[in-house]
Amino acid sequence: MTPVAVCSRHSSLRAAVTCVCPRGAILVAGQSQTHLELGIDLLPPVLGCSGAFLPLNISLPEEIIGGWEAQPHSRPYMAFVKIEKGGHCGGFLIRKDVVVTAAHCNCNLGTITVVLAAHNVSRQEPGRQEIWVRRRIPHPEYNDETLGNDIMLLQLESPAQVNDWVRPIKLPKARQKVKPGTRCSVAGWGLTSSDPEKTSDVLMEVELPVKEDEFCRLYFGREYNYKSMLCAGDMRVPEGTLEGDSGGPLVCDGVAQGIVSWDFKDQSPPEVYTRLSHFIPWIKKMMKKLPH
């Protein structure tokens, strides 16, 4: 059976849509690419796809691509997660003593320190707080091959001092969905392009549109779980995240809706995020067990 292409309308271009086939297949119209832009009047009722499906080739996000420097301390929930023997990840404060990050961040390789109120992580800035992590709680069903359930809680050794530069972010309600087309933002430290020499120590940010679940399911294949994942990014614009940004929040209207998780090896958008609303019951259960 010929797979069907999924088409979605660009929020910024009302007269255009993007049609996408599963990775490795092409539109039967003959375009040697996975997506095609068509005028809305030219869009047929159904587009088919042909060609072999490629195996999923997952990459862990390392950088903010096409973004800009964030206003210093404009994201008081952001956490720089320093991992001994394992580089760094992003994270975000949800309680004075609890930070959320991605479970794939190699946090079993050594001591973890969380840095709060940081903008330029290479400098000892005023107000900066560095706190050891007392306990790490990866989701019990985390799968390091598919990156399913890619979420981990970090309990801090001592509570953060909440002020204008350090403040927990709001979490979504359980099972809350983000409307497709919503413009959200993601931030992180690290590379600013695929060139490993172009690094940045300051917090960078970028805006991304949330995609429809059906689009994400077809684009990413069987590894995409719409209940516990969401995807965001515009295929026409090379902006998004790549590995040092892993664990950072996807923020929509001031609420943390996702965790930077994975994308394809070619580093093109969209990217996949852990859907936080799916894990709210687990987060609440774990936090109740943690002594303040």
Q: What is the pLDDT of residues 158-206, one digit of tens each?
A: 999 999 999 999 999 999 999 999 999 999 885 555 555 555 689 988 8
pTM: 0.77
- Domain count for the chain, please give it: 3
Do 159 and 182 lie in a common domain? no
CATH number of residue 227's parent domain:
2.40.10.10
Residue 34 lies in a domain: yes
Do 216 and 127 lie in a common domain? no
Q: Closest Cα to residue 9, out of 177, 209, 173?
A: 209
Do 34 and 103 lie in a common domain? no
Indicate which residues carry an active-site annotation.
104, 150, 246
Do 176 and 268 lie in a common domain? yes
Residue 131 lies in a domain: yes
**Dihedral angle sign, alpha carbons of residues 197, 248, 286, 169:** positive
Do 202 and 252 lie in a common domain? yes
Do 118 and 28 lie in a common domain? no
Q: What is the mean pLDDT of the chain?
A: 77
Residue 1 lies in a domain: no
- Euclidean distance between CA atoms 201 and 205, whole angstroms: 13
Peptide bond into 76 cis (omega under 30): no
Domain boundaries, position 107: 75-169+280-289
- Band (pLDDT 50/70/90 cuts) for residue 227 is very high
Do 143 and 189 lie in a common domain? no
Residue 46 lies in a domain: yes
Q: Closest Cα to residue 152, out of 194, 196, 112, 107?
A: 107
Provide the pLDDT for residue 52. Answer: 35
Provide the pLDDT for residue 191. Answer: 58
